[in-house]
Amino acid sequence: MFKSVDAQDILALKALIDPKKVITDLPEGLNVDEMPIYGKGNAQVLVNVETTDDVVEVLRYAHARHIAITPRGSGTSLVGSSVALHGGIVLSTAKMNKIKRIDPLTMTAVIEPGVLLMSLAAEVDAKGLLYAPDPGEKSATIGGNVATNAGGMRAVKYGVTRDHIVALEAVLADGTLIHTGSAVAKDSSGYDLKDLLIGSEGTLAVITEITVKVLPKPKFTVSLVIPFADITTALQAVPPLMQLPDRPVTLEFMEKEVLEDAKEYLGKDFADRNWPAYLILSYSANVKPALESLLDTASDTLKKLGAKDVFLSDTTDRLQAMWATRGAFLEAIKNSTPEMDEIDVCLPIQTIPGYLQEVKALSVSSGVRIRSFGHAGDGNLHIYLCKDQIEASRWNALLPQLLDTLYTRAFALGGVVSGEHGIGHAKKAYLKQAVGEPSIRLMRGIKAAFDPTGILNPGKIID
């Protein structure tokens, strides 16, 4: 049990940090994230920290009194991870939003955790550089991206957020400040605490400063939209594409039905909507002949693998329109149904065609509409089970059975619970099923080492 925040705590917090940062009139939306199906939180007070010292003060106070702390960025999580299940303080790092420096010499940027993905991307772009991770929700904070080890479209070529984090400053549950990682190229210096914090969903420490890698921005980028007669043929083309000497930057799959949801939601059409299934591929290069050669090789391979056509998107307008449609899929599906649940498994890419056939068969046999799209090149699927007009009692009985079937099958194929959205409280049971009790025991030990009294984001990842 955690101590409930009372009037005396509010006064004490207001004495410790600028009182304007302590908010008791809670903003709408603070008690949910982007997946309302996982339920609401019970935040008692919002503290908008602006400095590392603020974080130290608040954590010291909460630790001494056993008050629960839920770190939060933009609240765009999809697993209930930024929701205060056990009341207490929501500690928002959204206002710690300074880009402190971008250093072309070490090719790094030092930022505060509340910097938005879109702000960092634009700022480095203006300097001819690239921050490579590209998760779909551009208004997420980089702190949230680090805490969930966010993935996104460009993971096929560049990897996920973890691969672009050089160093972190963080505050432990008792208010102790730590620095982990370094801007040097190699590091074999003991246990990697930085990597433990990445993906820890606010359960181990509050991240207060992040050093990210930046890369030279490729000069030319082109995307291909490739229609197929069916989704299985489209997905069977993925492993051969990944075996070509040059990796695509993105390799996404989608079906006509999702494009229709997106058209309904956005009021705008995609490049083409005449075929049942599509792949989208992007390539980038610094010289045009190299890019043309990449495109020729990919087009020849795709045609041999059953592609019905290869459409080129090479102007800024076309590229933006196409990626805007892709970026809207989640919201479009959410908009199409009163309630939905999401699966974010990541599978070996060669198993995806068979797995999706099973998903479709389950949809038919259960009568539940299931939509899917995802990052075909890295095996990360987004699968949405839509309630539509199904009666609540039937839906509540059916949903866990369908989830159990889909997760169990994914694990049997060598898949993991979450490719990029994390565990939060929504997927704890499936994490346990997937990794087993010995691994959960180790995770509990890690949690206890960082946060012995368990005040940081209680109820998330593990019990």
Give residues in contact with ligand FAD (CB under 6 A).
33-34, 70-78, 81-82, 93, 113, 135-137, 140-141, 143-145, 147-148, 150-152, 201-202, 206-207, 330-331, 420-421, 457
Return the number of the residue (119 or 299) whose C-beta is nearest ligand FAD: 119
The dihedral built from the CA positions of residue 417, 421, 427 and 431, taken in this order, carries a sign that is: positive
Return the number of the residue (71 or 248) whose C-beta is nearest ligand FAD: 71
In 81-239, the DSSP E strands lie at: 89-92, 99-103, 108-111, 129-130, 165-171, 177-181, 206-213, 215-216, 220-228
From the CB of 461, what's the least distance to ligand FAD, in Å?
A: 9
Return the number of the residue (82 or 282) whose C-beta is nearest ligand FAD: 82
Residue 343, φ and ψ in degrees, nearest 5: -120, 140
Return the number of the residue (330 or 406) whose C-beta is nearest ligand FAD: 330
User: What are 161's two structure tokens?
Assistant: 């957020």
Indicate the residue whose CB is closest to ligand FAD: 144
Can you tell me the distance from the alpha carbon of 365 to that of 258, in angstroms, rounded to the nearest whole number? Answer: 20
DSSP 3-state assignment of 388?
A: coil
Return the number of the residue (88 or 151) whose C-beta is nearest ligand FAD: 151
Can you tell me the distance from the alpha carbon of 280 to that of 375, in angstroms, rounded to the nearest whole number? Answer: 10
Can you tell me the distance from the alpha carbon of 437 to that of 198, in angstroms, rounded to the nearest whole number? Answer: 22
Residue 410, φ and ψ in degrees, nearest 5: -60, -40
Can you tell me the distance from the alpha carbon of 444 to that of 463, in angstroms, rounded to the nearest whole number? Answer: 8
Can you tell me the distance from the alpha carbon of 192 to that of 58, in angstroms, rounded to the nearest whole number? Answer: 26
From the CB of 374, what's the least distance to ligand FAD, in Å?
A: 9
Query: How far are the Cα atoms of 37, 92, 235, 419, 422 from residue 382, in angstroms, in the given order?
Result: 16, 28, 14, 9, 13
From the CB of 201, what's the least distance to ligand FAD, in Å?
A: 4
Return the number of the residue (48 or 93) whose C-beta is nearest ligand FAD: 93
Task: Judge whether 229 and 308 are in contact, CB under 8 Å.
Answer: yes
DSSP 3-state assignment of 421?
A: coil
From the CB of 71, what's the least distance to ligand FAD, in Å?
A: 4
**What's the chain's length in residues?**
463
From the CB of 457, what's the least distance to ligand FAD, in Å?
A: 5
Question: Which residues share a beta bridge with 343?
Answer: 383
Q: What is the DSSP letter of 87?
A: -
Return the number of the residue (151 or 377) whose C-beta is nearest ligand FAD: 151
From the CB of 39, what's the least distance to ligand FAD, in Å?
A: 15
Task: Judge whether 76 and 137 are in contact, CB under 8 Å.
Answer: yes
Return the number of the residue (47 or 140) whose C-beta is nearest ligand FAD: 140
Return the number of the residue (61 or 275) whose C-beta is nearest ligand FAD: 61
DSSP 3-state assignment of 40?
A: coil
From the CB of 447, what's the least distance to ligand FAD, in Å?
A: 13
Return the number of the residue (331 or 358) whose C-beta is nearest ligand FAD: 331
Burial of 73 (0-12, 13-18, 19+ CB in 10 A): buried
User: What are 24's two structure tokens?
Assistant: 């008791």
From the CB of 282, what's the least distance to ligand FAD, in Å?
A: 15
Return the number of the residue (302 or 417) whose C-beta is nearest ligand FAD: 417
From the CB of 38, what's the least distance to ligand FAD, in Å?
A: 12
Task: Judge whether 330 and 381 are in contact, CB under 8 Å.
Answer: no
From the CB of 72, what's the least distance to ligand FAD, in Å?
A: 4
From the CB of 292, what's the least distance to ligand FAD, in Å?
A: 29
Can you tell me the distance from the alpha carbon of 140 to that of 154, in angstroms, rounded to the nearest whole number? Answer: 16
From the CB of 26, what's the least distance to ligand FAD, in Å?
A: 15
Return the number of the residue (112 or 255) whose C-beta is nearest ligand FAD: 112
Torsion, CA 153, CA 314, CA 219, CA 152, rounded to 10: 0
